[in-house]
Amino acid sequence: MWSQEWWRRELFKPQWATVDDVLTSRSARDAVRDANNLIAQARTWQRHNVGDTPGFGGDHERALRSIKARVLYMPGETDLYFPVGDGKYESQFINGVVFMPIPSLWGHSAGGGGNPADNEFIDAQVKNFLAAR
């Protein structure tokens, strides 16, 4: 969830006092979630392929090239679930994409609202993107 450096620098403080507190809080949060929703999310992560959209025959590069909307693509630099390198690869096929990784140690949580610096960065990038219409 969070990057290695997030843990090393103990960026969980002051929200949590110890690593055990982080893990206890996370476990309590997940314990009340519907297991079927978690399974569906995991399956989506494992099986997603934009190339499986009807008409593309499994060709994800062609599917990405077909995107006509302006795209602001902002992966987290330290996301271990969806590595920034994957986003960089995907973005090369999207015409006119603005690829702007979030410079954060918050891993997969970057951009999730928990870090004010991430929020400020994202807000600024979205404003710039929208102003460039």
* Alpha-carbon span 36 to 52, nearest angstrom: 23
Distances (CA, A) of 50 to 35, 59, 74, 76, 90: 25, 8, 18, 20, 11
pLDDT of residue 24: 97
pLDDT for the residue 102: 98
CA distances, 122 to each of 73, 80, 99, 101, 117 (Å): 11, 19, 12, 10, 9
pLDDT at 100 over 90: yes
DSSP H or E stretch at residue 131: helix 116-131
pLDDT, tens digit, for every residue of 105-114?
Answer: 999 999 999 9
Give yes or no for residue 71 having a pLDDT over 90. Answer: yes
Q: Which domains does the chain have, with CATH numbers?
A: 4-131 (3.40.50.1820)
Residue 45: predicted pLDDT: 87
Instruction: Tell me the whole-structure pTM to 2 decimals.
Output: 0.87
